[in-house]
């Protein structure tokens, strides 16, 4: 089984290029990030080339404090598309494989229509080898976020009917809002483009909490999933001191 280090949460005390190197040293197979735009592309590419790790994903910007994205916000189309263009440019320059298009805090039919229109814009603007991702966020951490459930996400994906747009299935978010993580993974597999995980309910290190990740990982493997799983947890300590779960998972692979 392969794992990706989400550098939005792991090794955040280090500059992004050094965090990439730390992920390699720790035994990760890939990296992903949130908002890398303040880091020069050349520095990121040097670290990726040095380590041989692929960059799996990055996010469109959040917008103003409290917005949590722009893509579903009515009346913000120009800013949303500028954020999409920014993400595409950075992804192309760093050979990043996917872009999480953040919806933002909105609700209602106008927000839904805006989200779909902007996703269509993003797909038209994006190279075919870069996947677009949408992610339901749980109601506890993001109570006003537009995209809240896997059912809502799969309905939107069915309407888009575009293989270049998939769901980011975060086991933590799904467990907090919906439960039945493994059952939902099995049912939604055709819609899923990336899988992330963290402990439930505190989003901490995945070797504790309510969700039995050794079992979840085995089920994911049984489903035929071969791409790296994204470790997007809050370490609550120095990241290197929290990686017993990674060593155990690799030993059991």
Question: What would the pLDDT profile of 198-239 be if each residue is shown by its tens digit?
Answer: 999 999 999 999 999 999 999 999 999 999 999 999 999 899
Q: What is the pLDDT of residue 140?
A: 96
pLDDT tens digits, 110-153: 999 999 999 999 999 999 999 999 999 999 999 999 999 999 99
Its sign, for the CA torsion 230, 236, 238, 242, is negative
Provide the pairing of β-strand 165-170 with 192-197: parallel
| Catalytic residue (choose from 32, 77, 135, 178) | 135
Mean predicted lDDT score pLDDT of the chain:
97
Q: What is the pLDDT of residue 252?
A: 80
pLDDT tens digits, 28-51: 999 999 999 999 999 999 999 999
Q: What is the pLDDT of residue 253?
A: 59
DSSP-assigned states of every residue in 128-145: TTSEEEE----TTT-TTB
| Catalytic residue (choose from 67, 159, 210, 232) | 232
Q: What is the pLDDT of residue 88?
A: 98
Its sign, for the CA torsion 92, 124, 119, 68, is positive
Note the pTM of the prediction, 2 decimals. Answer: 0.97
Mean pLDDT to the nearest integer, 89-97 = 98
Query: Which residues, other chains included, contact 124 with Cβ-Cβ below 8 Å and sequence gap of 6+?
Result: none
Whether residue 97 is predicted with pLDDT greater than 80 in this model: the reply is: yes
Number of structural domains in the chain: 1
Query: Which residues, other chains included, contact 159 with Cβ-Cβ below 8 Å and sequence gap of 6+?
Result: 116
50 is catalytic: no
Mean pLDDT to the nearest integer, 145-167 = 97
> What CATH number is attached to the domain comprising 48?
3.20.20.150
Domain span at residue 196? Answer: 3-251
Q: For residue 175, how far is the Cα from the chain centroid?
A: 16
135 is catalytic: yes
Q: At what angle do helices 77-94 and 41-51 cross, to 10 degrees?
A: 40
């Amino acid at each position: 089984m392969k794992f990706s280090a989400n550098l939005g949460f792991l090794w955040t005390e280090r500059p992004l290029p050094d965090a990439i190197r730390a992920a390699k040293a720790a035994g990760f197979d890939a990296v992903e990030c949130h908002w890398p735009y303040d880091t020069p592309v050349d520095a990121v590419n040097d670290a990726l080339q040095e380590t041989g790790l692929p960059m799996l994903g990055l996010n469109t910007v959040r917008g103003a404090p409290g917005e949590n994205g722009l893509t579903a916000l009515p009346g913000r189309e120009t800013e949303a598309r500028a954020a999409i263009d920014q993400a595409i440019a950075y992804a192309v320059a760093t050979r990043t494989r996917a872009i999480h298009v953040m919806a933002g805090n909105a609700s209602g039919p106008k927000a839904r229509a805006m989200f779909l229109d902007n996703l269509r814009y993003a797909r038209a603007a994006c190279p075919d080898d870069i996947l677009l991702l949408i992610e339901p966020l749980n109601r506890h951490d993001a109570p006003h976020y537009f995209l809240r459930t896997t059912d809502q996400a799969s309905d939107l994906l069915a309407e888009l009917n575009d293989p270049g747009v998939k769901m980011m299935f975060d086991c933590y978010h799904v467990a907090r809002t919906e439960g039945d993580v493994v059952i939902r993974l099995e049912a939604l597999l055709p819609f899923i483009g990336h899988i992330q995980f963290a402990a439930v309910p505190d989003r901490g290190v995945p070797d504790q909490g309510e969700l039995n990740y050794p079992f979840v990982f085995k089920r994911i493997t049984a489903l035929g999933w071969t791409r790296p799983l994204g470790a997007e947890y809050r370490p609550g300590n120095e990241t290197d001191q929290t990686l017993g779960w990674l060593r155990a998972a690799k030993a059991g692979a």
